[in-house]
Structure 1
Amino acid sequence: MTRGIYIVANDRVLENAVALLNSIRLYDPEVLIYMIPFNEEYQQLADIICNVHNVKIFPDLNLLNQFTQKIAEIFPPDFLALPNKMRKLAVWFGPLDEFLYIDTDIIVFEKIAENLNLLSQFDFLCCDFHYKSEGLRNVFSPLVAEENIFTTEQLADVFNSGFWASRKGIISMEKMEEILRECATHREYFDFTSGVTDQPILNYLVLKSFARRCNLVKLPGQDIGSWGGSSHFQEKDYILYDSDRRLKYLHWAGTPLKGGAYWKLWQHYRYLHEGKPTLWKKLLLRR
Structure 2
Amino acid sequence: MHVLLLGGTTEARRLAELLAAGPSPGLRVTNSLAGRVSAPRTPPGEMRVGGFGGAEGLAAWLREHAVDLLVDATHPFADTITRNAAHAAATVPVPLLVLRRPGWRRVEGDVWHDAASLTEAAALLPALAARRVFLTTGRLGLAAFAGLTDPWFLVRSVDAPEEPCPPHAQVLLDRGPFTLDGERELLRRHRIDVLVTKDSGGAATAPKLTAAREAGLPVVVVRRPPAPRGVPVVGGPEEAARWIGAARGKRVP
Both proteins in one fold, TM over 0.5 = no
Higher Cα radius of gyration: 2
Compute the TM-score of the two structures, normalised by the length of structure 2.
0.28
- Higher strand share goes to which structure? 2
Scaled by the length of structure 1, the TM-score of the pair is 0.26
Greater helix proportion? 1
